A and B are shown apart, each in its own frame.
Chain A
């Protein structure tokens, strides 16, 4: 049991956020926020998540946005897995540029602080809209299921905000094709 407790030491998650807080504080990055399935865990039932997807913005645009981040993380003694994930305190971490989509860019700016982990996370509305962005229209892929779970289970969802975001990011038609008039 002791080995299991150590392996799943919940403090490891706080340490991951500490690392990003440190990078933000010293200017290596401008802002960050956790997105993807790991962020969904903050709002709905626990879901399978391969990794923790952190979206970051830089103060100064760079063609190689990962260069300084990569150096920073490696100087802390963390390694990269065979599949290209940073392994931070036993957690697989992927770092993505917030420039990858307008949704991610805005999600990082509109992030919320969570005191349990001591770091910043996408709001539930952005987790949903970001999932829809990557969803196929079959309704059965993991992104579509995430959207569905938010609609079905997350009672605090700000549906007006979701509708506003869907409209802003031209996703309203896609949403309606898959989920009908759920908002």
Chain B
């Protein structure tokens, strides 16, 4: 089981920054709705469900932009 509480490293942060804007807005909304707060501005609690959901919705487009994001 992946520990989502650990800090996301810089490489992942860079990749998350490159996600399509609409996806990032959805992630932001998910964080709000689930009351997930960020430590030092990083996504240390990104829900696994959302990652899967985003991958399903956005498919190759996202994978091309951020291939390792979904290896979390």
B31 contacts the other chain (CB 8 A): yes
Question: A interface, how many residues as a size bin?
Answer: 20 to 34
Which B residues from 9 to 59 make CB contacts under 8 A with A? 13-14, 16-17, 19-33, 36-38, 40-43, 49-50, 53, 57
A103 contacts the other chain (CB 8 A): no
Q: Chain B binding site: helix, strand, loop or mixed by DSSP?
A: helix
Q: Which of chain A's residues has its CB closest to B42's CB? A: A45
A4 to B51, CA, bound (A): 12
A149 touches B19 (CB 8 A): no
* Interface residue total, chain B, C-beta cutoff 8 A: 30
Interface string of A5-34 (1 = CB under 8 A from B): 101101001100000000000000000000
B28 touches A154 (CB 8 A): no
A183 contacts the other chain (CB 8 A): no
A92 to B30, CA, bound (A): 12
A43 touches B38 (CB 8 A): no
B17 touches A44 (CB 8 A): yes
A47 to B53, CA, bound (A): 18
A8 touches B53 (CB 8 A): yes
Residue picked from A4, A13, A42, A46, most chain B C-beta under 10 Å: A46
A48 touches B36 (CB 8 A): yes
A117 to B29, CA, bound (A): 15
Q: Beyond A5-B53, A5-B57, A38-B25, is A50–B17 a contact (Cβ under 8 Å)?
A: no
Minimum CB–CB distance for A152 against chain B, Å: 9
- 8 residue pairs of the A-B complex, CB under 8 angstroms, read A1-B53, A10-B22, A10-B25, A14-B22, A41-B28, A92-B32, A149-B41, A153-B14
